[in-house]
Chains A and B, each alone.
Chain A
Amino acid sequence: MLDGWPPPILDPAGPDAWAIATLAWVLLAMAALVLGVVLAAMWLALSGRPELRARLGGTKAIWIGGVAFPVVVLSLLLVYGLSLTRTQSAPLRGDEMRARVTGEMWWWRVAYLDQQRRPVLHDANELHIPVGRPVVLELESGDVIHSFWVPRLAGKLDMIPGRRNIIRIQADQPGVFGGQCAEYCGGPHALMGFVVVAHPQQRFDQLMRSRLARAAAASATPQAAQGARLFQSSGCAACHRIAGTPANGLAGPDLTFVGSRRTLGAGILPNNRGTMMGWIANSQAIKPENRMPPYTLLPGEDISALAEYLEAQR
């Protein structure tokens, strides 16, 4: 398993996740308190002194313990819960950074949007955001229902075919935050992870500038390099896109920045030469039923060359 996996669900790093975690603890404490009161009453009813048992069965005890107590406690909890989580449904300002995340079997398509909400940068399985600012995500699905969940940054929201759901996430500290598809979507659903990386604003702006420049330019790797030739001749380019090269497949994850990704296989493996080679050679042994075929016909030197080429895409 990867470091920090599975992501902790009660360790919030942003305001909406904080409200959800706080509410969870308050509900747990209240449930424990009520359970304690009920157990005490049961003990009293079974083995208390006769006069106490008689009082417990009286009309007054039923009005207080059976009607007044639950009405007061549940009403207070309802008001508290709704006010604690009211920010989750607050209207958007409209000038937030926007990205579109599309659930696919079994990975995530990511597009960064400009102020006119047009996609300007494509990536997969990883989203970079600035610290301390709300980021609006347009959640869509390319096939079946998925659910977007980065527990340290926000609640869960389904990705439904034909719909666009909106979720707001925010990280109040720099870091790497794991996510996971939270709606069973068939096959390797459990191996459909996601990564959000939060950077200080300046570092984030730098990263976006360099990525936009890279996406608009030709790849720095010459197309004559062995890995680049193999990427075309072995069929990789039919499903994968690398900006600035002839590879323009859209069925699988965009690989323009795959060399700098934290993970491989959609948030499930560390990204190094060895895991890249293992994934290319036979990803079916790692993530059974995923849509990439095994390349068991390629000799080792070709797999090395492909991995070297992909590592350079950053």
Chain B
Amino acid sequence: MPVADASRGKRAIERVGCASCHTIPGIGWPKGEAGPPLHGMAERALIAGRLANRPGILARFVRDAPALVPGTTMPAMPLSEEESRDVAAFLYESGK
């Protein structure tokens, strides 16, 4: 399995527009307010208030949130498996 790459993750975040809903440290624009801000992801106990905060789970969650948390407003996003791991890596690194 290739190593997750935070800088590729940043490009993926920009390509699909995660920041339309989330304010994300390291992303200058936009600073969306529809969903929670994503500061300090590395220190959080839970993802979406429900899932254990582990890299593999965060990667699956950013790609297909409704599959892990039925009823969540966050939709599945057009990310590949590899991109979703990169996105998780960026979220852990940028918000430290």
> Interface residues, chain A, CB within 8 Å of chain B?
1-3, 269-270, 272-275, 277-279, 281-282, 285-287, 300-301, 303-304, 307
Contacts and interface: CB of A to CB of B under 8 A. Distances in A.
Interface in B6-23: 14-18, 20-21
Contacts of A273: 75-77
Interface of B: 14-18, 20-21, 29-35, 72-78
B20 A304 contact: no
B16 A270 contact: yes
B21 A274 contact: yes
Contact of A277 (B14, B33, B73): B73
Nearest to B14: A1
A277 B34 CA distance: 8
Nearest to B21: A278
Contacts of B31: 285
Nearest to B31: A285
Contacts of B73: 277, 300-301, 303-304
A285 B16 contact: no
- Counting from the closest, the 10 A-B pairs by CB-CB distance are A300-B73, A278-B20, A281-B34, A278-B21, A285-B33, A273-B75, A275-B17, A286-B30, A275-B20, A278-B34
A272 B14 contact: no
Contacts of A275: 16-17, 20
Contacts of B16: 270, 272, 274-275
B15 A286 contact: no
Nearest to A286: B30
**A interface, by DSSP: helix, strand, loop or mixed?**
helix
22 contacts: A1-B29, A2-B14, A269-B17, A269-B20, A269-B30, A270-B17, A272-B16, A273-B76, A274-B17, A274-B21, A275-B20, A277-B21, A278-B34, A278-B35, A281-B21, A281-B33, A281-B34, A282-B32, A285-B33, A286-B20, A287-B30, A300-B72
Given A278-B35, A300-B73, A304-B73, A272 B30 contact: no
A252 B61 CA distance: 34
Given A285-B31, A285-B33, A274 B15 contact: no
Contacts of B76: 273
A303 B29 CA distance: 22
A9 to B, nearest CB: 21
Contacts of A303: 34, 73
Contacts of B77: 272-274
Nearest to B22: A278
A286 B18 CA distance: 11
Contacts of B35: 278
Contacts of B34: 277-278, 281-282, 285, 303
Given A269-B17, A274-B18, A278-B34, 8 more contacts: A1-B29, A272-B17, A272-B77, A274-B16, A278-B17, A278-B32, A281-B33, A300-B73
Contact of B20 (A1, A279, A300, A301): A279
Contacts of B30: 269, 285-287
Contacts of A307: 75
A277 B66 CA distance: 15
